[in-house]
A and B are shown apart, each in its own frame.
Chain A
Amino acid sequence: MSIETKSGTRRTRTPERVRTPARNLALSALRGLALAFVSLPGAVLCFCLTLVSVALVPIGVGIVTTPWVLTGVRMFADWRRLLAAEWGGVRIPRAYRPLPEDANPWARTFGMLRDPATWRDFRWLPVDMTAGFVTALLAFVLAVYPLEGFVIAAGLWRAWDDTYWYGFVPVSDQITGLYAAALGAVLLVAAFRLSPLLLKAHFRLTGAVLGSGQTELAERVRVLTETRRDAVDTSAAELRRIERDLHDGAQARLVAMGMDLGTIEALMEKDPAKARELLAQARRSSADALTELRELVRGIHPPVLAERGLGDAVRALALRLPVTVEVEVDLPGRAEAPVESAAYFAVSEVLTNAVKHSGADRIWVDVHHDAGLLRVSVTDNGKGGAVIGAGSGLAGVERRLGTFDGVLAVSSPAGGPTMVTMEIPCALS
């Protein structure tokens, strides 16, 4: 089957090798022509309208017209962004500041004029009407000019009485006409490579002037704002939980213990038997308080994590679970404490999920560090169907990891197996 396919492609290969570049050349030429046609008048029109409209702002008219004109400029730029992406594969990010829907013309005008993206558009227009126009037009000319050489050789040379210059070849008879055809052939070969390159250069130029690094920054700021809010929310919720646990647990037990001790003091002489009974109770209270504190500490920062690092902490965690967990660790050092902690609790949550919901009887955990990334994968042989969100706890894990620019991926087809992979960028010490 596969061999047949192979021979099939081989048979069609030779014609295609010619057809594809020819098609590419024709496409570049047509696109270059279209771009040249549009960019010069479009850019000149946009440029002039913007100048005039902004100049009219002081006398008031500009305040009404400027938003319209600038919106037009943006549409023109957007259209060119689209072409750059579709024809040239050059992605030019769009980074206009949003304007309020109900803004009055005044706010609209000045909002737009204050946007650095507006001025980037304005700078781009003269570039587009000159360098942009030339590159696009050249892409077309380079593809078409050689054809003229062939036409001349075919007999067009007779149409002129004087010597006609085709490139640097003076054409006056059939022989020189053939020279022109030869030059045309050379140019055509060059055009196969150069024409698409010129078009690409046109889009690159557009991207360089029109695009900005700001979009990525803006996106980064958005992500950081979001993850910071999550982190603050999570830590506030954690603190509330700890406060509640201490208040209802250890603190209450210590109060009870103090009361018992007071009673014991009073009873020692009168009723030694009762005092002894209360003493035993006080001791139980102190043991319970310790147990509760220990659980609480484990929830805040597991002691093994502090003592041994992530690898052994995960191993210790695995030993506590009622399911066989195989742990594979390859960490040449220790990550920073907050990263370790986040990774630990993420693994803990994922393992708990697997034990509770998957019905798995075997789980594999792999922890390793590679190329600046801490990678943890948890695989189980359960029934699958795990999803992020839907109160699965995985959404919480994702949020926790987000604070550290970590990501979570879940592959869990119905019927299993489930594989949860976490990645956190970090350095080991």
Chain B
Amino acid sequence: MRVVLAEDLFLLRDGLVRLLEAHDFEIAAAVETGPELTRALAELKPDVAVVDVRLPPTLTDEGLQCALQARRDRPGLPVLVLSQHVEQLYARELLADGSGGVGYLLKDRVFDAEQFVDAVRRVAAGGTAMDPQVIQQLLSRRAAEDRPLERLTPRELEVLELMAQGRTNAAIAGRLVVTERAIAKHTANIFAKLSLEVSDDDNRRVLAVLAYLDRGR
């Protein structure tokens, strides 16, 4: 699986290259700046891009803008955005086209190599990886004004949170140490209580949940 990596801090870039290579990713390019990233994405056509939000030369949200532009040029291009801070505003912009294949994670998540690599793979496969912090913010806001959410059991809320992060039933089952069938039952209940359309497609399911949580904002 070929990865284009954009990160301006040498230590982090180097660490990410080593981490990804150790998990059998092929680093097509590891770049430092926005323009380099745009060129690499256009020329190398990677399977997934791992991009830092803040890149030179402007040191604003150049990485995010490059990633969004690349996705407009090549819809569905899988992009995993990393940042020192997460903002719902950015998450919403990444999810706006509704086509999946996006990730948005705090840089801290790299600490847990397994989970991070899992997120990269999921995004590359067209799935979603949202940072738990984004989901928690969405949930706490939603909880303040949402009746249907109150009807969920604590366990169902837990499942909803993990589902919104983009995890599959199998992954959620593994995380909560229950069977996959139990999780399937929980998700069916959640969808019924929130009046969402049930879908077998994992990715569609995640997007539906995220859209629900972010509704009316």
A94 at interface by CB-CB < 8 Å: no
B84/A322 in contact, CB under 8 A: no
Interface members, chain B 101-159 (any A CB < 8 Å): 107-108, 111, 137, 140-141, 144-145
5 A–B contact pairs at CB < 8 A? A307-B61, A320-B137, A322-B140, A322-B144, A361-B145
**Contact between B111 and A283 (Cβ–Cβ < 8 Å)?**
yes
Flag if A319 contacts B111 (CB, 8 Å). Answer: no
Q: A297 near B: Cβ within 8 Å?
A: yes
For the complex, is B89 an interface residue (Cβ under 8 Å from A)? yes
B61 CB contacts on chain A under 8 angstroms: 307-308
Residues of A in contact (CB 8 Å), total 23
Interface string of A279-299 (1 = CB under 8 A from B): 000010011001100100110
Q: How many residues of B contact A (CB 8 A)?
A: 21
Cβ of A72 under 8 Å from chain B: no
Query: Quick one: CB contact mask for A296-328 with B, threshold 8 Å, 1 for yes?
Result: 011000011011100010011001111110000
B181 to chain A: closest CB distance in Å? 31
Asked if A287 meets B60 with Cβ closer than 8 Å, knowing A307-B54, A319-B217, A324-B145, the reply is: no
Q: Are B140 and A319 in contact (CB under 8 A)?
A: no
Interface residue? B87 (CB, 8 A): yes
Residues 45-61 of A, flagged 1 when their CB comes within 8 A of B and 0 if not, give 00000000000000000
User: Do the beta carbons of A308 and B137 come within 8 Å of each other?
Assistant: no
Give residues in B with beta carbon < 8 Å to A: 53-54, 59-61, 83-85, 87-89, 107-108, 111, 137, 140-141, 144-145, 216-217
Question: How near does chain B come to A107, taking the closest CB pair, in angstroms?
Answer: 60
B217 neighbours in A (Cβ, 8 Å):
319
**A314–chain B nearest beta-carbon distance, Å:** 10
How many Å from the CB of A356 to the closest CB on chain B? 14
**Given contact pairs A319-B137, A319-B217, A303 touches B89 in the complex (Cβ within 8 A):** no
Q: Are B108 and A308 in contact (CB under 8 A)?
A: no
Give CA–CA (A331, B116) in the complex, Å.
38
A290 touches B137 (CB 8 A): no
Docked Cα-Cα span, A322 to B136, in Å, equals 12
Known: A283-B111, A307-B53, A307-B60. Contact between A319 and B89, CB under 8 A? yes
Q: What distance in Å separates the Cβ of B14 from its nearest Cβ neighbour in chain A?
A: 18
Write the nearest CB–CB distance from A268 to chain B, whole angstroms.
Answer: 20
A316 and B111: CB pair below 8 A? no
Residues of A near B108 (CB, < 8 A) are: 287, 290-291
Knowing A308-B60, A322-B144, A324-B145 touch, does A316 contact B53 (C-beta < 8 A)?
no
Q: Lowest 8 CB-CB distances: which A-B pairs, in order?
A: A307-B61, A319-B88, A316-B89, A322-B144, A307-B60, A316-B87, A303-B85, A290-B108
Interface pair B85/A298, CB less than 8 Å apart: yes
C-alpha spacing A321/B89, complex, angstroms: 13
Would A312 and B85 be within 8 Å (CB), given that A287-B111, A307-B60, A307-B61 are in contact? Answer: no
Q: In the complex, A294 Cα to B145 Cα: how many Å?
A: 28
For A308, the chain B residues whose CB sits under 8 A away are: 60-61
Quote the shortest CB–CB distance from A336 to chain B (angstroms).
Answer: 15
Chain A minimum-CB-distance residue to B142 = A322
Question: In the docked arrangement, what's the CA distance between A298 and B85, Å?
Answer: 9
Alpha-carbon distance A290/B83, docked complex (angstroms)? 12
**Roughly how many angstroms separate A298 CA and B87 CA in the complex, as a whole number?**
12
A294 touches B60 (CB 8 A): no
Chain A nearest CB from B118 CB (Å) reads 17
Cβ B144 vs Cβ A303 within 8 A: no
Asked if B89 and A315 make an inter-chain contact with CB atoms under 8 angstroms apart, the answer reads yes
Instruction: State in angstroms the CA–CA spacing of A418 and B216 once bound together.
Output: 24
Q: Which residues of A contact B53 (CB under 8 A)?
A: 307
A304 adjacent to B89 (CB under 8 Å) = yes
With a cutoff of 8 Å between Cβ atoms, the chain A residues found around residue B88 in the complex are 316, 319-320
18 further interface pairs, Cβ-Cβ under 8 Å (given A297-B85, A307-B53, A361-B145): A283-B111, A290-B108, A291-B108, A294-B84, A294-B85, A303-B84, A303-B85, A304-B85, A304-B87, A306-B59, A308-B61, A316-B88, A316-B89, A319-B141, A322-B140, A322-B144, A323-B144, A324-B216
What are the interface flags for A204-244 relative to B under an 8 Å C-beta threshold, 1 for contact and 0 otherwise?
A: 00000000000000000000000000000000000000000
Distance A316 CA – B54 CA, assembled complex (angstroms): 16
Residues of B within 8 A of A290 (CB): 107-108
Residue of A nearest to B54 (CB): A307
Are A306 and B87 closer than 8 Å at their CB atoms? no
* Contacts A319-B217, A322-B140; A286 near B85 (Cβ below 8 A): no
Q: Closest approach, in angstroms, between the C-beta of A206 and any C-beta of chain B?
A: 58
Cα–Cα distance between A188 and B59 once the two chains are bound (Å)? 77
Q: Which residue of A lies closest to B60 (CB)?
A: A307
Complex-state Cα separation, A307 to B81, whole angstroms: 15
Residues on the B chain within 8 Å of A321, using CB:
141
Q: How far is the CB of B62 from chain A (nearest CB, A)?
A: 9
A151 to B151: give the CA distance in the assembly, Å: 101
